[in-house]
Every structure is written in structure tokens, then in C-alpha cells.
Amino acid sequence: MGDSVSGDTPSHQQDAHDRFVERRAVPRYDLIAEIEAYEPLEGLRVTSSVSDIGANGCCVCLPNSIRQHTVIELRIDKGRESFKSWGMVIYAQEGRGTGINFYQPEPGQVGILQGWIANLEVQR
């Protein structure tokens, strides 16, 4: 009998998965904050919580996921500060959350986000 593909056991599949795990351009940090997402075309407004954040985006726990590639207006509230930006839903998967990339936030808003991230880096 020749070579077989029977080596595709769950452990081998996991090894393959580990080699191709999602790689982010910038680190993400755990953050508990409230987010309000507004989809202007359908007038859909959703409030939920952020689970992690980075310089380019965040992951949100949305009960009713907004579809992938949807452009949204968002506001993240943390303490007395709010970060506002446009964003795009990159992925929306049950159990994984909804990934949002920020889209060209205003310079003042970038400063707020950078301050949050600096504080989160110190807490790590």
C-alpha cells in the first residue's frame, strides 16, 4: 500500500490551522466599552459592547450582526470620552463577533484612540 492521506487527523488539521491563523497589522487590546453603530442607508441603530480595540479597528459583540462590507457611523464611549469614526464591517460571525475597521477618523478622534491604546499598553 502506498502513501495515504490518513494523516489528516484532528491534530494535523489543527497544525495546519495554526500556520494560517489571522494576522493583524497592529495589535489589539482588550477593552470594555459601549459602542453605538448607525447604518445610515437603512436607518439601523445598534448599541452593544466592544471586546477589543486597535489602531485600525475593533471587535464588537452584536446580537444582530450587521452584514459584511456595510459602512457604518460609530461612536465608542469609554468613561467621559467618545471616539467617533466611520467604519466598515469586515466580518460578522456568530460566536466570533463583528470586526469593524475604522475609516479615516478625524485627527482629534485619532488622538483619543491613541490615548486609550497607550493606557491599555501600560496595563498589559
Q: What pLDDT does residue 6 have?
A: 47
Contact of 66 with 89, CB cutoff 8 Å: yes
Secondary structure (3-state) at 80: coil
pTM of the model: 0.77
15-47 pLDDT, tens digit each = 444 443 455 678 999 999 999 999 999 999 999
Contact between 61 and 51 under an 8 Å Cβ cutoff? The reply is: yes
Fold of 27-123: Thrombin, subunit H (2.40.10)
CA distance 23 to 65: 23
Please give the grid coordinates belonging to residue 97: 463577533
